[in-house]
Amino acid sequence: MTTAVDRAYRDLSPLDVRIQTHRRYSEAAHDVEADVLTAAAITAEDTLLDVGPGTGTFLARLSAAGHTAPLAALDFSAESVATCARIPGVRAARGDARQLPYPDAAFDVVTARHMLYHVDEPVEAIREARRVLRDGGRFAAVVNREKPYPHFMALLREILAGHGITPPRSPDEHVHGGNLPGLVAEAFDPDTVHVLRRENALLLPGPEPVVAYLASILTLQGVPDDPDLHRTIIDDLDKAARARFRALPDGIWREPKGYVVVTATA
């Protein structure tokens, strides 16, 4: 059965909208990829598997930096796999994070960045990551803070309610910065689990990036694949966002966000 997550990642352009929004409008210049590199002590000699690589920017960064050991990517999205396969030095495969198609002890590092909240049983995926790590290998996972984007989500829920749409449980309610350390400790020695927390915000100077971000997650919020419905909802979001901006004293929309990097050693 095709899920909303499957449909949302057939095309990676909505994901890229979100990535570019964070790069352009973040209050603090946090670099989540650099945080993962440091937290997991990744070197050019580490064989590495990136589970859920999305647009492949992390692997492209490693490749461009001259990573000498093999790099692997695994994703359920055919477009993500095709994108990563074009990166020099990367072998990409389509598959399930809960059933990795690799032998035991195959990698020095496994990363799972902003993807565990899309897995029904995240501990199964974490245990699979542990299985394919060599002794002394490192695991690094990234998820959002608890209750990120509260103003965004309140506006979106208000508009969707007007169309009779009740969003499903948010992925961020499933796995988040509050419960991820405990989930990782179920698969790894708790004494090796370490947590890095980053608090931040989006500072948005007008309604356009707000509407673009919310439009990029409509499928994940249970909106059917109906182009006319999407256009109508986006129009309603635009009107509501413009009204909110008119009420802001300084004309800046401040949207709280943040992420957590959790690492562990096999």
Quick: pLDDT tens for 15-69: 899 999 999 999 999 999 999 999 999 999 999 999 999 999 999 999 999 999 9
- Both tokens of residue 30? 């946090």
pTM: 0.88
> Any idea of the CA torsion for 19, 24, 28, 32, to the nearest 10 degrees?
30
pLDDT above 90 for 9: no
State the average pLDDT over residues 95-111: 97
Q: What is the mean pLDDT of residues 191-206?
A: 98
Q: What is the DSSP letter of 92?
A: E
- The answer to whether 245 and 253 have CB atoms below 8 angstroms apart is yes
Element (DSSP H or E) covering residue 20: helix 13-25
pLDDT digits 0-9 by tens, 199-233: 999 999 999 999 999 999 999 898 998 999 999 99
Residue-wise pLDDT for 130-163, tens only, equals 999 999 999 999 999 999 999 999 999 999 999 9
52-83: b or e for each residue (b if 16 or more CB lie within 10 Å)? bbbbbbbbbebeeeebebebbbbbbbebbbeb
Nearest to 127 by CA among 116, 117, 118: 116
Q: What is the third-level CATH fold of 4-265? A: Rossmann fold (3.40.50)
Q: Does 10 have pLDDT greater than 80?
A: no
pLDDT at 116: 96
pLDDT at 92 over 50: yes
- Give every CB contact of residue 205 below 8 A, 6+ residues apart in sequence: 25, 251, 252, 253
Looking at residue 5, what is its pLDDT?
A: 60
Handedness of CA 95, 76, 152, 157 (dihedral sign): negative
* Whether residue 243 has pLDDT greater than 90: yes
* Segments making up each domain of the chain, as ranges: 4-265
Identity of residue 54: G
- Is residue 1 over pLDDT 50? no
